[in-house]
């Protein structure tokens, strides 16, 4: 089989698709343009898929039966158009059903699960290309062996895909509660991880030889390193892991794009890989984490964790919906800090209603969003946008943190780690060094939690609970805010 000829119209279509993907990433950089960005992404993907299907030329078996040489060019088995459309239909039904039923609280683990499928797809394509290279046009002249360059592309794609799959499975288990959020630190983990990574690099380098054992060694060792890299990473760093695995899935797709001679896959994979890496770096910077440390499996993490004394051993003040309504109505400005607890309670709509009530009384209202609020980048932004909160009322940490010293009321709903002063004072804490909101500078703090016994995802107590200006509002977040809205209306 001759290498795939490049039709100029196909190249133009893929170029247009690539431009749409770039515009999509640009649009997704801001909540105000995110809908437009999603539309560009869908248009680009539709163009890429239709172009690929339109240029697909199915071939039939020219020879059948056992005993065929592995690189016999007379045996080319590509799926027919009907089979491809059936596969697309099955995937579309599963995707649509899942997307319609999934709650926003489960979105991080859904993203991790989908990343795992991208990685697994790269591995399966690599296996197919290795055992039927004629179907992919990667045989050397004479049809005796796979092209050397294609072997390297195949090895890299399979390795990155396997790491993405197994790492995403662990991330899903941690986010979904099937595994604890605490780091699992294996003895000598850094030596093991480094040896495994070096081993994969050596095996890929040796893959120019036609040895099935080398191919499967790359696959199995890459699956193993995915598990080993993510298991030591704690829950506090999980948002970075989700972003990092997104980057890995892009690079896996790009590597397989070279194997498939598909320009759209190469461009799309490179865009996803690079943008995911940049986002991971930005988030690491926002959390005061070392980028290299996180991608190396929590390098330097300690088994012990710091934290304050148990909640039952310290005095704290309990407030009511009426207290919160009265003090916020009398305030000049209120800063709302949402977190994962707001997402769990699905309280974003009633929070916006509360803010509207406060604004009708002449109170200035702003929302403070931490870069890692929730368990996925942009989690809180999506929830607030869903509740039609004006974009100009939503501020990132660096833009609003200086305003807490002049703030009358800090209203914390379901957030914990992102307002925990231990990040600034307790060197033994797993969140030490992470930039947090300076809520302790506010005149009054209302903190909504279900109970005093619960802790944040990082598993440490919060000094804010026990401060003189703090009133704990212990209840379901949505129910408490609904009561506050009623009290504001009286």
Q: Where are the domains of the chain?
A: 104-303, 311-489
Summarize the confidence of residues 55-74 as an average pLDDT: 49
Integer angstrom CA distances of residue 193 from 187, 197, 226, 300: 11, 6, 10, 13
Question: What are the CA-CA distances from residue 319 to residues 344, 412, 421, 470 (Å)?
Answer: 22, 13, 21, 9
Alpha-carbon gap, residue 162 to 249, rounded angstroms? 10
pLDDT tops 70 at residue 92: yes
Query: Which range, of 240-249, 364-373, 386-395, averages the lowest pLDDT?
Result: 240-249
| Domain at 311-489, CATH class | alpha beta
Among positive and negative, which fits the CA dihedral 351, 353, 358, 359?
A: positive
Nearest-angstrom CA–CA distance, 358 and 485: 9
pLDDT at 223 over 50: yes
The yes-or-no verdict on residue 293 having pLDDT over 50 is: yes
Sort residue 185 into left (φ over 0), alpha (ψ -120 to 50) or beta.
beta
What pLDDT sits at residue 210?
Answer: 67
Query: pLDDT tens, 382-408?
Result: 888 888 899 889 998 889 999 999 999
Strand partners, 337: 412
Please give the positions annotated as active site.
417
Out of 79-83, 123-127, 234-238, pick the least confident.
234-238
As a whole number, the mean pLDDT across the chain is: 82
- pLDDT of res. 305: 43
Write down the number of H helices and E strands in the chain: 17, 6
- Distance in angstroms (rounded) separating the CA atoms of residues 160 and 219: 9
Residue with more model confidence, 69 or 119 = 119
Start-to-end CA span in the chain (Å)? 79
pLDDT of 469 > 90? The answer is yes
Question: Above pLDDT 90, what percent of the chain?
Answer: 31
For residue 190, what are its two tokens? 């850094």
The stretch 316-332 carries a mean pLDDT of: 93
Using the 8-state DSSP alphabet, how is residue 439 labeled?
Answer: G
Residue 75 predicted with pLDDT over 50: no
Range from 66-70, 114-118, 132-136, 186-190 carrying the lowest mean pLDDT: 66-70
Residues 6+ apart with CB under 8 A from 175: 108, 109, 112, 238, 242, 375
User: Could you tell me which residues are beta bridge partners of residue 338?
Assistant: 413
Scanning the structure block, which residue is given the tokens 């609970």?
465
- How many percent of the chain have pLDDT more than 70? 84
Rg (CA), the chain: 26
CA distances from 58 to 1, 84, 142, 157 (A): 12, 10, 22, 24
């Amino acid at each position: 089989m001759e290498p795939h000829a490049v039709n100029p119209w196909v190249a133009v279509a893929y170029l247009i698709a690539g431009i749409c993907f770039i515009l999509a990433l640009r649009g997704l950089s801001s909540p105000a343009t995110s809908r437009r960005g999603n539309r560009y992404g869908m248009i680009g993907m539709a163009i890429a898929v239709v172009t690929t299907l339109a240029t697909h030329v199915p071939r039939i078996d020219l020879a059948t039966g056992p005993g065929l040489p592995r690189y016999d060019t007379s045996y080319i088995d590509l799926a027919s158009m009907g089979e491809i459309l059936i596969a697309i239909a099955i995937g579309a039904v599963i995707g649509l059903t899942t997307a319609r039923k999934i709650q926003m609280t489960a979105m991080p683990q859904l993203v991790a699960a989908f990343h795992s499928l991208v990685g697994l797809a790269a591995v399966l394509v690599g296996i197919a290309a290795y055992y039927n290279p004629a179907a992919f046009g990667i045989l050397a002249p004479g049809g005796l062996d796979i092209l050397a360059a294609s072997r390297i592309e195949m090895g890299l794609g399979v390795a990155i895909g396997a790491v993405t799959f197994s790492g995403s499975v662990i991330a899903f288990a941690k986010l979904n509660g099937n595994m604890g959020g605490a780091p699992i630190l294996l003895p000598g983990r850094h030596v093991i991880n480094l040896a495994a990574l070096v081993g994969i690099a050596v095996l890929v380098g040796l893959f120019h030889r036609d040895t099935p054992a080398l191919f499967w060694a790359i696959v199995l060792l890459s699956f193993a390193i995915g598990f080993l890299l993510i298991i030591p990473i704690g829950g506090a760093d999980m948002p970075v892991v989700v972003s990092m695995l997104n980057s890995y899935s892009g690079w896996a797709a790009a590597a397989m794009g070279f194997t498939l001679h598909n320009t759209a896959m190469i461009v799309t994979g490179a865009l996803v890989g690079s943008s995911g890496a940049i986002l991971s770096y930005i988030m690491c910077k926002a959390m005061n984490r070392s980028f290299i440390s996180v991608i190396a499996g929590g390098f330097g993490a300690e088994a012990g964790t710091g934290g304050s004394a148990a909640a039952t051993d310290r005095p704290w003040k309990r407030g009511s919906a009426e207290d919160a309504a009265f003090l916020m109505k009398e305030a000049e400005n209120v800063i709302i800090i949402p977190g994962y607890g707001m997402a769990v309670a699905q309280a974003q709509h009633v929070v916006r209603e509360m803010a509207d009530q406060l604004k009708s009384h002449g109170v200035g209202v702003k929302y403070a969003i931490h870069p890692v609020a929730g368990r996925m980048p942009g989690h809180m932004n999506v929830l607030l946008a869903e509740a039609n909160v004006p974009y100009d009322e939503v501020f990132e940490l660096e833009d609003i943190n200086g305003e807490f010293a002049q703030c009358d009321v800090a209203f914390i709903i379901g957030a914990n780690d992102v307002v925990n002063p231990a990040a600034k004072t307790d060197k033994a804490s797993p969140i030490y060094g992470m930039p947090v909101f300076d809520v302790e500078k506010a005149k009054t703090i209302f903190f909504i939690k279900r109970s005093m016994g619960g802790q944040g995802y990082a598993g440490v107590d919060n000094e804010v609970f026990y401060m003189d200006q703090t009133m704990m509002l212990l209840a379901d977040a949505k129910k408490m805010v609904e009561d506050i809205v009623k009290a504001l209306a009286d």
